[in-house]
């Protein structure tokens, strides 16, 4: 048996200006509708009813984990996602290259994304990674850029304990002052939190000293671009204790995702990462390449998880037509080839989203998301289309998380709970 899980990020929606329909309703999706006619639909609350999900916590829940027990913060998934080795005790951060200026009151952020810098990040990282920290010789760190202004930073203590119980130093607003990182209110007495916060403050301060006159930035300023002269750190987290999916189900899985966060969550759950040329994590991603890679991967792996990000990007941009058109591309370029070429006598597939990102709000909301299961062991319901309204009348009604366990259950891979 084989299984395929497809998550279109932010797939769910509310009625829009597209004649009162959701983007998924308004989209022409003949391939998804054909699967709906053969399979069973329902609505899934990614984490639980009324819970407004982040993408990371939603994915953990859909993959079968309880995020309230295992989630430690986003930084660790960013580090995993760009290929850093995370060891127990390491503290991970999301990192932003930003533009700061010196004022009498401290450092002020002019541009949180340093003009979406697209070259020279590696040279800046090399310069920063070469410094020796004054706060303690027992602490090492690595900053690694990913795309544009984004990156991750990992702190490691050598015979010294570190803590993720600290505040971030990203002011999140333009013209905001860079705040000092501090121990969280209930961690004031914790020496590990104090030394970790001091380390964060030293790295950010020294990044500015080191980068403000760095050749990469002198060239940027000469070209009229904002310099990438400071690193801001947020999402402090330590390695989560996740039992791998393989250890629970005794099957091997692979992830195909352009975005570092989704690769990171999947790697933390024990999946193997497949690099697919043209998978960008954006609206310009190559969905045909993802379909082809999925079909190839099923020769080696028991299941494949395919993540598609563009639906969420269009939702955040409040672009109803863009979201509708991207859903039509998913149907034509990803679902179409899979429908035609999968061996339907031995394969189960699930299609869903990780949360709702309605056009009117432009961010994640609490509504449930349609989910579809199809394959030889699925009891079909009466639905003949894949969208929110059809799913509300689906045979699975409404449930929370657990989409991967349900999918793997159709393949008879689930361990028995009890005797």
Site residues for Zn ion per CB under 5 A? 9, 55, 312, 354
Which residue, 261 or 378, has its beta carbon nearer to Zn ion? Answer: 261
Q: Are 81 and 238 in contact (CB under 8 A)?
A: no
What is the Cα–Cα distance from 205 to 215, expressed in whole angstroms? 18
Residue nearest to Zn ion (CB): 55
Tell the smallest beta-carbon distance from residue 309 to Zn ion (Å): 8
In three state form, how does the secondary structure of the chain look?
A: CEEEEEEECCEECCCCCCCCCCHHHHCCCHHHHHHHHHCEEEEEECCCCCCCCCHHHHHHHHCCCCHHHHCCCCHHHHHHHCCCCCCCCCEEEEEEEEEEEEECCEEEEEECCHHHCCCCHHHHHHHHHCCCCCCCCCEEEEEEECCCCEEEEEEEECCCCCCCCECCCCCCCCCCECCCCCECHHHCCCHHHHHHHHHHHHHHHHHHHHHCCCHHHHHHHHCCCCCCCEEEEEEEEECCCCCCHHHHHCCCEEEECCCHHHHHHHHHCCCEECCCCCCCCCCCCCHHHHHHHHHHHCCCCCEEEEEECHHHHHHHCCCHHHHHHHHHHHHHHHHHHHHHHCCCCCEEEEEECCCECCCCCCCCECCCEEEEEECCCCCCCCCCCCCHHHHHCCCCCEEECCHHHHHHHHCCCCCCCCC
Tell the smallest beta-carbon distance from residue 172 to Zn ion (Å): 19
Which residues, including other chains, have CB under 8 Å from residue 216's CB and lie 6 or more apart?
119, 120, 123, 124, 228
Strand-pair category, 91-103 with 106-111: antiparallel
Which residue, 248 or 318, has its beta carbon nearer to Zn ion? Answer: 318
Which residue, 214 or 309, has its beta carbon nearer to Zn ion? Answer: 309
Which residue, 112 or 307, has its beta carbon nearer to Zn ion? Answer: 307
* Tokens representing residue 31 in the block: 């391939």
Which residue, 115 or 322, has its beta carbon nearer to Zn ion? Answer: 322
Which residue, 57 or 181, has its beta carbon nearer to Zn ion? Answer: 57
Tell the smallest beta-carbon distance from residue 354 to Zn ion (Å): 4
Tell the smallest beta-carbon distance from residue 13 to Zn ion (Å): 13
Which residue, 9 or 238, has its beta carbon nearer to Zn ion? Answer: 9
Which residue, 125 or 306, has its beta carbon nearer to Zn ion? Answer: 306
Tell the smallest beta-carbon distance from residue 46 to Zn ion (Å): 9
Tell the smallest beta-carbon distance from residue 120 to Zn ion (Å): 30
What is the Cα–Cα distance from 345 to 299, expressed in whole angstroms? 15
Which residue, 229 or 313, has its beta carbon nearer to Zn ion? Answer: 313
Tell the smallest beta-carbon distance from residue 53 to Zn ion (Å): 7
What is the Cα–Cα distance from 129 to 27, expressed in whole angstroms? 48
Which residue, 55 or 383, has its beta carbon nearer to Zn ion? Answer: 55
Tell the smallest beta-carbon distance from residue 396 to Zn ion (Å): 21
Tell the smallest beta-carbon distance from residue 59 to Zn ion (Å): 8
Tell the smallest beta-carbon distance from residue 269 to Zn ion (Å): 16
Tell the smallest beta-carbon distance from residue 318 to Zn ion (Å): 16
What is the Cα–Cα distance from 349 to 342, expressed in whole angstroms? 10
Which residue, 238 or 312, has its beta carbon nearer to Zn ion? Answer: 312
The packing angle between helices 55-62 and 260-268, to 10°, is: 40
């Amino acid at each position: 048996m084989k299984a395929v899980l497809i998550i279109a990020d932010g797939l769910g929606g509310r009625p829009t200006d597209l004649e009162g329909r959701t983007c998924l309703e308004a989209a022409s999706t003949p391939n998804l509708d054909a699967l709906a006619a053969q399979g069973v639909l329902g609505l899934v609350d990614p984490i639980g009813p009324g819970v407004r999900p982040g993408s990371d916590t939603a994915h953990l829940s859909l993959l079968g984990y309880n995020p309230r027990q295992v989630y430690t913060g986003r930084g660790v998934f960013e580090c995993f996602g760009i290929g850093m080795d995370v060891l127990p005790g390491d503290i991970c951060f999301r990192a932003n290259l930003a533009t700061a200026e010196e004022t009498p009151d401290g450092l002020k952020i002019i541009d949180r994304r340093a003009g979406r810098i697209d070259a020279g990040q590696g040279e800046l990282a090399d310069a920063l990674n070469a410094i020796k920290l004054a706060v303690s010789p027992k602490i090492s760190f690595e900053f690694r850029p990913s795309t544009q202004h984004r990156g991750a930073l990992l702190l490691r203590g050598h015979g010294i304990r570190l803590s993720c119980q600290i505040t971030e130093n990203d002011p999140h607003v333009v013209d905001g002052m860079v705040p000092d990182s501090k121990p969280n209110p209930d961690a004031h007495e914790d020496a590990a939190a104090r030394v970790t916060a001091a380390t964060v403050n030293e790295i950010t301060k020294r990044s500015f000293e080191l980068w403000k006159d760095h050749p990469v930035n002198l060239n940027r300023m000469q070209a009229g671009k904002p310099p990438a002269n400071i690193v801001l750190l947020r999402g402090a987290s330590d390695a989560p204790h996740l039992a791998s999916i393989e250890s629970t189900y005794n099957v091997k899985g692979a992830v195909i995702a352009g975005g570092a966060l989704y690769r990171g969550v999947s790697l933390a759950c024990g999946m193997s990462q497949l690099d697919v040329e043209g998978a960008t994590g954006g609206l310009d991603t190559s969905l045909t390449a993802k379909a082809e890679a999925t079909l190839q991967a099923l020769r080696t792996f028991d299941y494949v998880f395919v993540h598609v990000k563009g639906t969420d990007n269009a939702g955040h941009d409040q672009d109803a037509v863009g979201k509708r058109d991207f859903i039509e591309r998913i149907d034509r370029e990803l679902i179409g080839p899979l429908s035609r070429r999968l061996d339907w006598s031995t394969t189960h597939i699930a299609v869903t989203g990780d949360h709702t990102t309605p056009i009117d709000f432009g961010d994640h909301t609490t509504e449930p998301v349609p989910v579809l299961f199809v394959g030889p062991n699925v009891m079909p319901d009466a639905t003949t289309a894949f969208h929110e309204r059809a799913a509300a009348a689906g045979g699975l009604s409404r449930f929370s998380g657990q989409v991967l366990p349900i999918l793997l259950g159709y393949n008879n891979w689930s361990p028995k709970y009890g005797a």
